[in-house]
């Protein structure tokens, strides 16, 4: 089904080649964060990206002429992979900028020296709780450890006069830490962070659905104070808080593929696994969308498959309902029972907060 004839307001660039690859190196994690989607994925198991799988992936990535970014992000902690140092060295042979997203708890002196010497393009460390209080989001963590990791990376760079990696921090905001956002950014900068990303949460539990700091129409903006204080600070990126905006998928426009720990390919992290989600308080089931596996087919061939091409084409004019405009979202039979939207799409892209700029990834 196509809707170009309707003169839709929303249109966007759709990349015709793979430019960005997300790789889930591990589904194991050393934390159990309250905001994590892992709690909502049925029968989620801990496993690691193997050497055999990575060797196959690297040989396939070498054939992608327009690949310009690799992001090591998934639903586990990448540094939990027992072969992480080997993986990083192999990926670095591609001479493509690599971004590592981590909770920072496992960054030792040796790891710091490795990521600086390779070098990685950037390392983003997640910090969601302020110092001096018991963590409410990253339970079991100590915020001083990731702060020390930031300092360690900066000192390691300085010792060999290296320019990379950029050391960044990402904070996910809920009502539980909304009053600490400015403090978190400030202490990250004091520790040596080059860049800070402030994102809203996409709720994967009923508790989190009641803790959002954004709104349908922008009348409520929990980040107003931070936005004002860091208005002219180019080293701080703050998510929008108004869901009533035109959409643009940041993954589709960059030619993204997400490769999970078993080699399955999805268009983005949100579509990698089937899980429960809440859209402005309304429960949903977000169905996984997989278009192939690199163990069975080449990544370029999967990208060019008719099914994947057709899926990406729906974004040229955003052929998904804007669920923000729904007058009775709590009565949505399709999304809660049949797992389809009003246009009969099976993906939950009509309620995507990344496309609204409310949820951000490094």
Please list the alpha-helical segments (H only) found in the chain: 51-61, 84-92, 109-117, 144-159, 181-191, 206-209, 224-229, 299-303, 306-313, 333
Q: What is the pLDDT of residues 48-68, one digit of tens each?
A: 999 999 999 999 999 999 999
Q: Are 70 and 98 in contact (CB under 8 A)?
A: yes
Element (H or E) spanning 24, and its range? none
Cα gap 324→307, rounded to integer Å = 27
Per-residue confidence (pLDDT) for residue 135, from 0 to 100: 85
- Which tokens go with 38? 């892992």
Contact 80, 26 (CB under 8 A): yes
Q: What is the mean pLDDT of the chain?
A: 94
**CA 69, 71, 88: angle at the middle one, nearest 5?**
100
**pLDDT tens track for 63-120:** 999 999 999 999 999 999 999 999 999 999 999 999 999 999 999 999 999 999 999 9
Tens digit of each residue's pLDDT (9 = 90 or more) over 257-267? 999 999 999 99
pLDDT of amino acid 62 = 98
Q: Is the pLDDT of residue 2 over 80?
A: no
Structure confidence by residue, pLDDT tens digits, 202-258: 999 999 999 999 999 989 999 999 999 999 999 999 999 999 999 999 999 999 999
pTM of the model: 0.95
Share in percent of the chain as helix, strand, coil (round to 5)? 30, 15, 55
Label residue 124 exposed, middle or buried (CB < 10 Å: 0-12, 13-18, 19+): buried
Confidence at 330, pLDDT banded by 50, 70, 90: confident
Above 80 in pLDDT, residue 199?
yes
Give the pair of three-digit tokens for residue 52: 């055999």
Span of 66-75, 281-290, 338-347 with lowest mean pLDDT: 338-347
**pLDDT grade, residue 8 (50/70/90)?**
low
Would you say residue 332 has pLDDT above 90? no
pLDDT tens per residue, range 142-153: 899 999 999 999
How far apart CA 275 and CA 286 sit, in angstroms, is 5
Looking at residue 100, its pLDDT comes to 98
Share of the chain above pLDDT 70, in %: 98
d(CA 282, CA 331): 9
- Inter-residue contact 208 to 278 (CB < 8 Å): yes
CB 238 within 8 A of CB 200: no
Beta-carbon contacts of residue 219 (< 8 Å; ≥ 6 apart): none
């Amino acid at each position: 089904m196509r809707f170009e004839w309707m003169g839709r307001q929303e249109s966007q660039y759709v990349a015709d080649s793979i430019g960005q690859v997300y790789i889930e190196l591990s589904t194991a994690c050393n934390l159990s964060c309250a905001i994590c989607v892992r709690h909502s994925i049925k029968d989620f198991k801990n496993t690691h990206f193997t050497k055999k799988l990575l060797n196959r992936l690297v040989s396939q990535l070498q054939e992608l002429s327009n690949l310009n970014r690799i992001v090591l992000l998934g639903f586990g902690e990448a540094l939990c992979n027992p072969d992480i140092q080997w993986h990083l060295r192999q990926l670095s042979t591609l001479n493509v900028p690599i971004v590592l997203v981590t909770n920072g708890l496992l960054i030792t002196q040796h790891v710091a020296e490795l990521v600086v010497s390779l070098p990685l393009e950037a390392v983003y460390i997640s910090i969601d709780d302020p110092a001096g209080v018991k963590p409410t989001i990253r339970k079991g963590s100590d915020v001083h450890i990731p702060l020390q990791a930031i300092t360690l990376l900066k000192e390691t760079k300085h010792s060999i006069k290296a320019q990379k990696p950029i050391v960044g921090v990402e904070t996910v905001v809920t009502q539980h830490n909304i009053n600490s956002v400015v403090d978190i950014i400030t202490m990250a900068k004091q520790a040596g962070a080059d860049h800070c990303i402030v994102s809203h949460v996409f709720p994967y539990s009923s508790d989190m659905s009641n803790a959002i700091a954004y709104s349908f129409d922008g009348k409520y903006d929990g980040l107003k104070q931070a936005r004002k204080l860091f208005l002219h600070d180019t080293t701080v990126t703050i998510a929008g808080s108004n869901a009533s905006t035109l959409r643009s998928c940041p993954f589709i426009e960059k030619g993204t593929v997400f490769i999970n720990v078993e080699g399955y390919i999805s268009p983005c992290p949100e579509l990698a696994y089937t899980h429960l989600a809440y859209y402005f308080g309304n429960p949903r089931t977000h169905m996984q969308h997989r278009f192939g596996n690199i163990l069975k087919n080449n990544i370029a061939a999967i990208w060019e498959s008719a099914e994947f091409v057709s899926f990406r084409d729906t974004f040229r004019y955003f052929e998904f309902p804007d669920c923000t405009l729904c007058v009775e979202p709590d009565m949505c039979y399709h999304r809660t029972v049949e797992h389809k939207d009003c246009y009969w799409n099976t993906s939950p892209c009509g309620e995507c907060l990344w496309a609204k700029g409310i949820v951000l990834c490094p």
